Amino acid sequence: MAWLELSMAQKKILTALIQLYEQDEGYIKGELIAESTGFESDSVHSQMQELKKLQLVEGVVGSVGAYKPTVGAYEVLNRDESQNVP
């Protein structure tokens, strides 16, 4: 999956999600990702929908939206997920 070409915004959002997930190990709210990246919540939500299509994140449906990275997210960013994703 490392062959995927992500935009700079997608990489920034996905990296922030992974960092927040490694701290909390639960679903991360879109608002927190937006705060961490400096993007608007709507932009984060839009990007997360694209990342879900690429199977890089799992999401919880709802007005707030919450996400967690998949193993593929770690692979595409060349990170070691062995200690972080069950």
Q: Over pLDDT 70: what percentage of the chain?
A: 85
The whole-number pLDDT of residue 61 equals 75
Query: Are 45 and 30 a contacting pair, CB within 8 Å?
Result: yes
Structure tokens, 33? 């990702």
Within 1-86, residue ranges assigned H as helices are 8-24, 30-37, 41-53, 71-76
Q: Is the dihedral of CA 61, 52, 25, 44 positive or negative?
A: negative
The whole-number pLDDT of residue 3 equals 60
Distance between CA atoms of 45 and 51, rounded to whole angstroms?
10
The whole-number pLDDT of residue 81 equals 52
Confidence band, pLDDT 50/70/90 cuts, at residue 77: confident
Task: Kindly report, residue by residue over 34-69, the tens digit of the pLDDT.
Answer: 999 999 999 999 999 999 999 999 998 776 679 999
Q: CB-side exposure of 21: number of CA atoms within 13 Å?
A: 24
